[in-house]
Structure formats: C-alpha cells, structure tokens
Amino acid sequence: MTSERSTTTRTRAQRSQDSRARILDAAVACLIEGGYSGSTTLVIQSEAAVSRGRLLHHFPSRDRLLVAAAQHLAVKRVADTEERVRRVVEQNPPADVFERADLVIELLWESFSEPHFWASIELWTAARVNSEIADVLRPEEKRLGAAIRASMARMFGDELASRPRFKQLRDLLLTSMRGTSMTYTFDRRDPREDAMLDQWKDLARLLLAP
C-alpha cells in the first residue's frame, strides 16, 4: 500500500509540479531568446510543448506566468551563485591573496554573461512599467542580493573579506559589472577581454591593500 502510494502519489502533485516547472523553464528560455515582448503565451506554450489548456490551467494569464517566471528565475540564480562559490572555493588556493581576488573577479564577471542574467534584465526592465512584476521582484531580488554578497565574502576568503573596504569593493564590483554588461546588449564582444576587467582587479588591490 505504502509502497504503491510512494510510486503513484507522485502522479498527481508531482506531475503537476513538473508541468509547472517545465512551463517556467520555457518562459525563461523565451525571455532569453526573444525578450519580454517576444515571450507570448503561444511561444512559451510551444517551447514547453504543452497544450494551451495546460498552460492556462497553471497560469491563468500572461502576467501571472511572467511573474512566476521572475520568482522561479531568482531561485535558480541563487542556486547558480552557490554553485559558483563551490567552484572557486574547491579550487586549489592561489599563493597570493590577490591572485585569488583576480580569480574571483573573473568568475563573478562570467556570471554577468550568462543567459540567466539576461532573463533577469528582461524582467527588471518589464518591472519598470509593470508593478505586479516589480512587487514580486523586490523581495526576491533582495534575497538574491544578500545571497550574492554572502557568497562573495566566502569566495574572497576571510583574509580579504575582513579588510575595512571590502564591502565598498564588493558593491562597486557588483554595480560596475552590471552596468558594464548592459552595453553588451548592442555591442557583442568577448567579455573575457573587456577593458574593465583590469580596472576591477586593480581596484581590488587598491581597496584591499593592508
């Protein structure tokens, strides 16, 4: 009985959850590919390969769907961030602390080229004129921001994170990277060769000097 239920119970709640996730993943994919205005319910429905009824059963309107997508994406971005930390921390520690700082800056900068970042930007931009999306994003991005800041401290390591100007550096890096990446919307180029990279590394040396 119990064993039967353990396999069958999944069908109802879990199956529904799967559909939801599939649609939301599709929504994010559409945001990345076609932007906010290109992410119509039909396009998302097609990308998710679900029927219209299925999509509208889970999300009664386009707004509700994209609002949920915003939430969904924020959660995913927190997970991505954690994963990124692991990659840095597990790496064999560089001899010099500033070499480590360089590495962290490069890794952090990479995260601003990832598709998920652009999906977020689409939703941020949409939020400016859509208060429903803004209302969902506000608390969610606050959580994400806190997670990112905590991650940065771990990535840089205690020694650097305890320097007096660490928080200043952290905030300057995050905002400057976001602002820099915005130019990539119309000017695609290799992020790894961005001139700002050296500036950021230099800034870290300056602000974290003993």
Tell me if 178 contacts its own copies by CB under 8 A.
yes
Tell me if 114 contacts its own copies by CB under 8 A.
no
Tell me if 115 contacts its own copies by CB under 8 A.
no
* Residue 185 tokens, joined: 């919307």
The residue whose two tokens read 């927190």 is 78
For residue 141, give the nearest of 60, 87, 75, 64 by alpha carbon: 75
Tell me if 55 contacts its own copies by CB under 8 A.
no
Residue 24 vs 169, nearer CB to DNA? 24
Residue 88 vs 136, nearer CB to its own copies? 136
Tell me if 190 contacts its own copies by CB under 8 A.
no
Q: Which does 91 bind (CB under 5 to 8 A by kind): DNA, its own copies, none?
A: none
Q: Which does 115 bind (CB under 5 to 8 A by kind): DNA, its own copies, none?
A: none
* Residue 121 tokens, joined: 């930007």
Measured N-to-C along each axis, helices 115-127 and 62-90 cross at an angle, to the nearest 10 degrees, of 140
What are the two backbone dihedrals, phi and then psi, of residue 79, each rounded to the nearest 5 degrees?
-60, -45
Question: Measured from the CB of residue 68, what is the shortest distance to DNA in angstroms?
Answer: 13
Give CA torsion, residues 77, 137, 13, 18, to 10 deg: -40
Tell me if 68 contacts its own copies by CB under 8 A.
no
- Count of alpha carbons within 13 angstroms of residue 165, beta-carbon side: 11
Rounded to an integer, what distance in angstroms lies between the CA atom of residue 89 and that of residue 195? 26
The answer to whether residues 55 and 101 touch, using CB atoms and an 8 Å cutoff, is no
Is the four-CA dihedral 114, 119, 124, 126 of positive or negative sign? Answer: positive
Tell me if 191 contacts its own copies by CB under 8 A.
no
Residue 60 vs 145, nearer CB to its own copies? 145
Question: Measured from the CB of residue 182, what is the shortest distance to DNA in angstroms?
Answer: 25
132-161: which residues touch its own copies (CB under 8 A)?
133-134, 137-138, 141
The answer to whether residues 129 and 186 touch, using CB atoms and an 8 Å cutoff, is no
Q: Which residues bind DNA (CB under 7 A)?
A: 8-9, 11-13, 15-16, 19, 40-43, 50-54, 56-58, 60-63
Residues that bind its own copies (CB under 8 A): 33-38, 118, 121-122, 124-130, 133-134, 137-138, 141, 168, 171-172, 174-180, 182-183, 185-187, 195-196, 199, 202-203, 206-207
